Amino acid sequence: MKKINLGVLVSGNGSNLQSIIDHIERSELDADIKIVISNNASAFALERAKKNHIPFIVIEHAEFPDRDQFDQKMVDILRFHSVDLVILAGFMRIISPFFLRAYPQRILNIHPALLPAFPGLHGQKKALDYGVKFSGCTVHFVDEGMDTGPIIIQAVVPVYEGDTEDSLSQRILREEHRIYPLAIQLYAEDRLTIIGRKVQIRCAFESKEISLHNPPITDINHLKESF
């Protein structure tokens, strides 16, 4: 099967970049990372690219007069590297309509909450503050809105009473590292079709009917009996 060419955009730690690299190395993802682009010269993600001999470039947004020119530069670089699919992996800039037109339905993002809940920055903290019992992460196509594009896959994690923003983020990240490479592989296999807001996945198994409860229902019954 033909591998797809990825361009990965990062701003920070790059643990999602690492998980994509690891999946490619284990032949669980039929893709090549052609270029890593960071808007932040001190992003640890760049160390990961370097260590894995992946070409990378820093484009500081402050050096461009406006967002369109910054995005134009990124699009030029992505095209130069024959990138088929753009992966936002902790990239802390909003993608302009110009960029979207250059890569229509070919930009993916991962968000650390169960969209449409808690879009934007600090999804984990917003979930904690709201008091939800479950949160998770979402891989979606990027459209012109803020985390509003069609959803490909989501993973759910419980939120515990003692959670901090950090502990919840770590639990969510573990799932991010599983579902992002999977979503990219589904794209690589040409199994995703966008119909309106919905993404149809060809030949996907439907998960068995399950319900999750947090706290578990059995515990609640147990508590009741002990009063």
16 binds ligand GRF (CB under 6 A): yes
* Stretch near ligand GRF under the rule CB under 6 A, chosen from 13-21, 54-62, 94-102, 195-203: 13-21
149 binds ligand GRF (CB under 6 A): no
Return the residue of 6, 9, 14, 59 that touches ligand GRF, per CB under 6 A: 14
Dist CA 147 CA 59 (whole Å): 23
Contacts (Cβ under 8 Å, ≥6 apart) of 97: 144
Q: Given the structure tokens 């260590």, which residue do they identify?
A: 51
Return the residue of 110, 128, 186, 199 that touches ligand GRF, per CB under 6 A: 110
111 is catalytic: yes
- Among 10, 19, 21, which residue's Cα sits nearest to residue 87? 10
Judged by beta carbon, residue 163 or residue 176, the one nearer ligand GRF is 176
> Segment 43-102, which members bind ligand GRF (CB under 6 A)?
89-90
Site string for ligand GRF, 173-192 (x = CB under 6 A): x--x----------------
Judged by beta carbon, residue 34 or residue 111, the one nearer ligand GRF is 111
Minimum separation from the CB atom of position 113 to ligand GRF (A): 8
Task: Kindly state the number of chain residues that form the binding site for ligand GRF, as judged by CB under 6 A.
Answer: 13
The dihedral over CA atoms of 147, 84, 33, 21, expressed in degrees to the nearest 10, equals 50
Catalytic residue among 53, 81, 111, 140: 111
Judged by beta carbon, residue 74 or residue 114, the one nearer ligand GRF is 114
CB 186 within 8 A of CB 152: yes
Minimum separation from the CB atom of position 7 to ligand GRF (A): 15
39 binds ligand GRF (CB under 6 A): no
Dist CA 35 CA 78 (whole Å): 7
- Other Cβ atoms less than 10 A from the Cβ of 2: the count is 8
Judged by beta carbon, residue 90 or residue 181, the one nearer ligand GRF is 90
The dihedral over CA atoms of 18, 189, 56, 14, expressed in degrees to the nearest 10, equals -30
Judged by beta carbon, residue 34 or residue 171, the one nearer ligand GRF is 171
H helix runs in the chain, sequence order: 15-25, 44-51, 67-80, 97-102, 123-130, 165-188, 217-226
Query: How far apart, in Å, are the Cα atoms of 37 and each of 59, 84, 139, 160?
Result: 7, 15, 20, 36
Q: Which residues bind ligand GRF (CB under 6 A)?
A: 12-16, 89-90, 110-112, 137, 173, 176
Catalytically active residues are 111
